[in-house]
C-alpha cells in the first residue's frame, strides 16, 4: 500500500489538465464565433453590391430592348419613306402630258411681254433708286422736336415777358427746322407758324427800356421846376387881369377911393409868398418823384393800369400847382402825353394752334 498517497495528486493533476483543456476549448469556440461574425459583416455589403449591380443590369437590358424596338420602328418608317420617294421620282421622270396651245395666243403673249417688259424694268430701276435715296438720306425727325421746342419757347416769351422780337426770331427758327425736316406733313404746321409770324411782325415792339429812360429824364425836368415862382406868376397874371377889368367898373373905383380916404395904401414890393407854406415845394417834388417811380414799376412789371394811373396823377399835380404854364412844365406835359399814348402791354396772338399741329407731327 505504498502507492495510495499519490492517487489524489494524480487525480488533481488530471482535473487541472481537464480544466485547462476545457478553457482552451472555450477560447477556440469564442474565436471561431468571432471569425464567423466578421466574415458575415464583410459578406453583407458585398451581397448588397451584387444585388444593386444586378438590378441596374436588369434596367439596362430593359432600356436596350426599348431602344432596339424604337430602332426597328424607325427603320420601318425610313424604308416606307424610301419607297415613297422612289415612287415620286418615277412619277417625275415620266413625261408630262402634252397640252394643246394655239400658236396665235403664244405670239400675242410674246408681243405683250416684249412691250411691257422694258417699262417694268424702268419702273424697277426707279423704285430701286428711290429706295437707295431713302436709305442714304439722314433721319431728320429730330428737326420736328426742335421746332416744337422753339415754338414753346416763343410762346413763353410772349406770355411771360411780352418779348415780341425774341418770339419772332424763335418762330423763324422753328419754320426753318420744319422745312429742313424733309417731311411732307409739315405744310399745315408751317402755314400756322407763318400766320403767327405775320401777326407778330404787324405789332409794334414796345421799347420798355426806352420808356424807362424817358421816365428817368422826366425826373431831371421835375428837379428844375420852381413851384413857388410859377404860382406867383399865375397869381400876378390873375391880379393884373382883375385890375384891368376894374378900370371899367365904376362901382369898384368908388369903393377904392373911399377906402383910400380912410386907409393909407403902401406898395408891396415882393410878390406874395403865402400860396405855398414852408417846405411844401420839396414835398410836392417828392410826391412827383414817387409817382414817377410808380410809373417805372408799371413798365418793369408790365402793369398798364399802374403806368397810366401814375402818369395821370403827375399831370394833375402839374395843373394843380400851375406848372403847366411854364416852359419846362409844358415840356413835361408833352412828354407825358406821348408816354400815355404807348401801350406797354399790347394784345398778343396765341401760338396754341401751331403747338398743337407740331405736337401731332412729333407724336405720330
3-state SS, one letter per residue, for 206-274:
CCHHHHHHHHHHHHHHHHCCCHHHHHHHHHHHHHHHHHHHHCCCHHHHHHHHHHHHHCCCCCCCCCCCC
Q: For residue 260, what pLDDT is reported?
A: 60
Residues 6+ apart with CB under 8 A from 12: none
Helix orientation angle between 280-300 and 208-223, rounded to the nearest 10 degrees: 180
Q: Quick one: cell of 84?
A: 415613297
User: Is 0.85 topped by the overall pTM?
Assistant: no
Q: For residue 247, what pLDDT is reported?
A: 44
Instruction: Tell me how many degrees the CA angle 355-359-360 measures, rounded to the nearest 5.
Output: 120
Q: For residue 262, what pLDDT is reported?
A: 58
Q: For residue 137, what pLDDT is reported?
A: 45
CB contact at 8 A, 336 and 324:
no
Which of 171, 130, 176 is CA-nearest to residue 151?
Answer: 171
Name the maximum alpha-carbon separation found in the chain: 222
CB atoms within 10 A of CB 174: 28
- Number of continuous H segments (helices) and E segments (strands) in the chain: 12, 0
Residues 6+ apart with CB under 8 A from 177: 143, 144, 146, 147, 150
Mean pLDDT by 10 residues, the chain (364 residues): 60 72 73 82 82 85 86 83 82 63 69 79 78 54 85 87 85 88 83 88 81 87 67 48 45 60 51 49 82 89 87 84 70 86 81 86 76
Q: For residue 274, what pLDDT is reported?
A: 38
214 phi-psi bin (left φ>0, alpha ψ -120 to 50, beta other)? alpha
**What is the C-alpha separation between 302 and 347, in angstroms, rounded?**
12
**What is the C-alpha separation between 219 and 332, in angstroms, rounded?**
9
Domain boundary assignment for the chain: 142-206+350-363, 207-238+275-345
How many residues in total does the chain contain? 364
Amino acid at each position: 500500500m505504498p502507492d495510495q498517497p499519490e492517487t489524489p495528486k494524480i487525480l488533481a493533476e488530471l482535473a487541472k489538465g481537464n480544466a485547462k483543456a476545457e478553457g482552451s476549448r472555450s477560447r477556440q469556440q469564442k474565436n471561431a464565433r468571432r471569425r464567423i461574425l466578421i466574415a458575415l459583416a464583410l459578406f453583407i455589403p458585398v451581397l448588397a453590391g451584387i444585388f444593386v449591380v444586378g438590378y441596374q443590369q436588369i434596367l439596362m437590358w430593359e432600356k436596350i430592348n426599348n431602344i432596339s424596338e424604337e430602332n426597328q420602328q424607325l427603320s420601318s418608317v425610313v424604308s416606307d419613306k424610301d419607297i415613297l420617294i422612289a415612287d415620286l421620282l418615277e412619277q417625275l421622270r415620266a413625261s408630262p402630258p402634252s397640252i394643246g396651245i394655239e400658236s396665235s395666243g403664244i405670239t400675242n403673249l410674246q408681243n405683250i411681254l416684249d412691250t411691257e417688259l422694258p417699262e417694268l424694268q424702268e419702273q424697277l430701276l426707279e423704285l430701286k433708286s428711290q429706295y437707295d435715296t431713302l436709305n442714304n438720306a439722314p433721319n431728320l425727325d429730330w428737326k420736328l422736336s426742335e421746332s416744337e421746342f422753339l415754338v414753346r419757347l416763343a410762346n413763353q416769351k410772349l406770355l411771360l415777358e411780352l418779348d415780341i422780337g425774341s418770339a419772332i426770331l424763335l418762330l423763324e427758327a422753328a419754320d426753318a427746322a420744319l422745312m429742313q425736316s424733309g417731311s411732307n406733313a409739315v405744310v399745315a404746321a408751317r402755314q400756322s407758324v407763318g400766320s403767327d409770324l405775320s401777326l407778330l411782325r404787324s405789332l409794334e415792339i414796345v421799347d420798355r427800356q426806352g420808356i424807362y429812360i424817358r421816365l428817368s429824364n422826366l425826373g431831371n425836368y421835375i428837379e428844375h421846376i420852381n413851384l413857388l415862382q410859377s404860382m406867383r406868376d399865375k397869381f400876378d397874371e390873375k391880379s393884373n387881369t382883375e385890375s384891368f377889368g376894374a378900370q371899367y367898373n365904376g362901382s369898384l373905383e368908388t369903393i377904392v377911393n373911399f377906402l383910400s380916404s380912410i386907409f393909407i395904401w403902401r406898395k408891396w414890393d415882393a410878390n406874395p409868398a403865402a400860396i405855398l407854406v414852408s417846405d411844401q415845394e420839396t414835398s410836392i417834388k417828392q410826391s412827383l418823384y414817387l409817382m414817377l417811380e410808380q410809373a417805372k414799376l408799371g413798365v418793369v412789371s408790365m402793369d398798364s393800369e399802374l403806368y397810366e394811373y401814375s402818369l395821370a396823377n403827375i399831370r394833375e399835380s402839374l395843373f394843380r400847382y400851375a406848372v403847366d404854364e411854364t416852359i419846362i412844365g409844358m415840356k413835361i406835359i408833352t412828354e407825358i402825353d406821348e408816354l400815355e399814348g404807348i401801350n406797354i402791354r399790347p394784345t398778343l396772338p396765341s401760338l396754341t394752334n401751331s403747338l398743337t399741329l407740331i405736337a401731332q407731327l412729333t407724336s405720330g
